[in-house]
Amino acid sequence: MIEIEPAGVIRPAAVAGLFYPADASQLRSSVKTLLEQAGSPRAVAFAQNAAEAMAVEASPPKALIVPHAGYVYSGPVAGAAYRLLAKARGQITRVLLLGPSHRVAFAGMAATSARAYETPLGVVAIDQEWLSRARDLPLFRVLDEAHEGEHCLETQLPFLQVALGDFKLVPIICGRVGAEAAADLLEALWGGPETLIVVSSDLSHYLDYQACRALDEKSCAAIERLDPGALGPEQACGAAPVNGLLTASKRRGLRVRTLDLCNSGDTAGPRHRVVGYGAWAFFEQSAKLAPDDAELVRRYGALMNDVARCAILGDKAPQPSATLPPALKRAGASFVTLRKDGSLRGCCGSVTARRPLVEDIRANATRSAFRDPRFTPLQPIEWGQVSLTVTLLSPLEPMRFENEADLLSQLQPHRDGLVIEDAGRQAVFLPAVWEQLTGKEEFLAHLKAKAGLPRGHWSPSFRASRFITTQTVEEPLLHAI
């Protein structure tokens, strides 16, 4: 475990006058111009797509990927991202800012002991208390040297200062670290609608113009499909935090929109040796606004049950058609529930969409039948007494609350499923559990017990996310296919 204590130092501006204007008035004017300008025709088209996404999501982006070169080179692309925060002033009060280390080689992810970052526009306080939430992660530590002189985080701050006004900063420099570890850090510091995640990264470096465009187009496609396996240091200097964001976004079902994609040959440099720049916005899907799974279940519910049934019975049952509809091949989260003579006989599932829905159903059916730790493995002699259902989960909606009473007041019985996380423990209840419990207090108390937490447990790090579900018609396990 590491201890993070606010030190009495301010991390001073290191690249003012180099990457951006050192004069405060000139800097503010420059940033406002970059936020207001329309950009290239391609950027305008990207921005229209992002605006449509914001209209659907009815909220600012949860996360941004933004370049960090000198403003004359990448400023227009950065502006395409930060202008999406125009209506978030006062709502976003914390920014989790991650970027790659260009000066210091190290493994893991590094915080700073400084109490603030400084730019010509003023001082941005560091939220050391929030940083402490990640202190038990094995690859997380304090390393002030990684922050000294590093430009990737500093270049983002003037944009954030102009767009958001007052906010607290959570700055992280990433060294050599895998996507899963970086995603775990993001999960620990995710927060609610008050927290914005910004990943600072340029794309390919020092290729000729056409080669850069070709490689960056592939990187753009990988980001749009949330594929961390396709991005390495050659594709993006910030590949480590970018891949962490892609992994966390896939876990949580975020949607991504490309905002701009160009290179220094398009902005202010020669074309024989260029650097690529891109900007992307990631949107959470509220459970209230989740895609309607009712139609999916209406059309393919019987097929979903068949997929679960065949995963359990194996070659003892006819297999569903190998030609599955595209809707079952998209990423999805499901639970498979088995009942024997009306009593629970197995229930396992996924709370986040990490694989194609059909694969998720198969895996969870097998777990429910043979690896639910509460029950012995299902035997053939029981098959005739067992029924099954498949439940689809909406993307998780992180909840924002001040205390347990506030959390309980937001819960909607018989509608909300709930995931709780604290003290390294996690548990989930589907909405169907409401049928067995008398009220909100009992629902939460039993969920805490399932997580191995005391009934009265509460702490500042307690997290909860809700979701809604759609369920297939309950059918016998031996139902004819």
Q: Tell me which amino acid residue 417 is.
A: G
- Supply the pLDDT for residue 317: 59
**What pLDDT digit, counting tens, does each position of 138-184 carry?**
899 999 999 999 999 999 999 999 999 999 999 999 999 999 999 99
Nearest to 66 by CA among 189, 186, 160, 185: 160
Our CA angle for 399, 402, 404, nearest 5°, is 80
- What sign has the CA pseudo-torsion 98, 103, 107, 110? negative
In order of 169, 175, 288, 316, 439, the CA distances from 237 in angstroms are 22, 11, 37, 52, 51
**Left (φ > 0), alpha (ψ -120 to 50) or beta: where does 456 sit?**
alpha
Which two structure tokens, joined as six digits, stand for 134? 């990640």
Per the prediction, the chain carries an average pLDDT of 89
3-class DSSP state of 31: helix
Query: What are the angstrom distances between the C-alpha of 413 and each of 118, 335, 445, 457?
Result: 47, 19, 14, 21
Q: Which DSSP string do the residues of 147-192 spell out, in sequence order?
A: HTT-HHHHTTHHHHHHHHSS-EEEEEEE-B--HHHHHHHHHHT--S
Question: In the numeric block, which tokens belong to residue 298?
Answer: 């209406």
In the chain, CATH 3.30.700.20 sits at: 289-476
pLDDT of residue 39: 54
**Given the DSSP bridges, would you call strands 195-200 and 63-66 parallel, antiparallel or unpaired?**
parallel
Given the structure tokens 């125009």, which residue do they identify? 86
- Distance from first CA to last CA of the chain, Å, rounded? 55
- Can you tell me the distance from the alpha carbon of 243 to that of 80, in angstroms, rounded to the nearest whole number? 21
- Determine the pLDDT at residue 314: 87
Six-digit token string for 428 = 């989930």
- Token pair listed for 87: 């209506």
Which tens digits make up the pLDDT trace of 235-274? 999 999 999 999 988 877 788 999 999 999 999 989 999 9
Look up the CATH superfamily of 10-284: LigB-like (3.40.830.10)
Residues 6+ apart with CB under 8 A from 118: 10, 11, 12, 13, 124
Q: Do the Cβ atoms of 395 and 252 come closer than 8 Å?
A: yes
Report the pLDDT value the prediction gives residue 38, as an integer from 0 to 100: 56
Partners of 427 in the β-ladder: 420
Residue 372's alpha-carbon distances to 330, 337, 346, 436, in angstroms, are 26, 11, 6, 20
- The residues of the chain that CATH labels 3.40.830.10 are 10-284
What's residue 321's pLDDT?
Answer: 58
pLDDT under 70: residue ranges of the chain:
1-8, 38-58, 285-292, 316-322, 480-481
Starting at the earlier edge strand, list the strands of the sheet with 417-422. Answer: 397-398, 463-467, 417-422, 425-429
Read off φ and ψ for residue 185, nearest 5 degrees: -65, -45
pLDDT confidence of residue 50 = 54
For tokens 């004017």, name the residue: 29
The total number of residues written for the chain in this structure: 481
Pick the CATH number of 289-476 from 3.30.420.40, 2.60.40.1730, 3.40.50.20, 3.30.700.20: 3.30.700.20
Q: Can you tell me the distance from the alpha carbon of 120 to that of 134, in angstroms, rounded to the nearest whole number?
A: 30
With 0-12 / 13-18 / 19 or more C-beta atoms within 10 angstroms meaning exposed / middle / buried, residue 282 is buried
Cα distances (angstroms) measured from residue 340 to each of 135, 343, 369, 378, 446: 45, 5, 11, 10, 23
What Å distances lie between residue 260 and 75, 204, 231, 263, CA to CA? 11, 15, 18, 10
Please report the pLDDT score of residue 24 as a whole number: 98
